[in-house]
Amino acid sequence: MTMTDPIADFLTRIRNAAAAQHHDVAIPSSKLGREIARILREQGYIEDYEVRDPELGRPGQELTITLKYTQAREPVISGLQRVSRPGQRTYVDHAHIPRVQGGMGTAIISTSRGVMTGHEARIAGVGGEVLAQVW
């Protein structure tokens, strides 16, 4: 079975692991996946991430994400949503970058200058494809 949307898969694996209160989650590694993980770490949604070489007999590198929880063992990530999908891409200019949860969340934007948060893209004055929203 071929995967049509690896970013949606990435977000779903994190969402499911957080719901099941797993400590970490393994996801097939990609450049875009590493960039999204970097943003999630910088924004404080996850503890950390690391790229691991595959086990014997398994193809490709693996991205292992260590999830972050509150003192009450609640996941820090309360919501992850894919915005731009393969069937319906969503592009915005810098003036129309969405504010997530009234500024409490983060929009992840793929711009010509790389993957960045909606806030960074607004400051840089660049628009792009709205990949996902996290809150």
CA distances to 35, 79, 130 from 134, in Å: 14, 6, 12
Report angle CA 24, 26, 29 to the nearest 5 degrees: 135
CB 64 within 8 A of CB 49: yes
Q: Is 107 helix (H, G, I), strand (E, B) or coil?
A: strand
Strand partners, 49: 65
One pLDDT digit (tens) per residue for the chain, 135 residues: 567 899 999 999 999 999 999 999 999 999 999 999 999 999 999 999 999 988 777 788 999 999 999 999 999 999 999 999 999 999 999 999 999 999 899 999 999 999 999 999 999 999 999 999 999
How many other CB atoms are there within 10 angstroms of residue 103's CB atom? 9
Structural domains in the chain plus CATH codes:
6-67 (3.30.1370.30), 80-134 (3.30.1490.10)
| Global pTM value | 0.92
pLDDT for position 88: 96
Q: Is 103 helix (H, G, I), strand (E, B) or coil?
A: helix
Query: Which of the 8 DSSP states describes residue 96?
Result: G
How many other CB atoms are there within 10 angstroms of residue 73's CB atom? 7
Q: Give which of 53, 56, 134 is closest to 98, Cα–Cα.
A: 134
pLDDT for position 2: 63
Query: Which of the 8 DSSP states describes residue 132?
Result: E
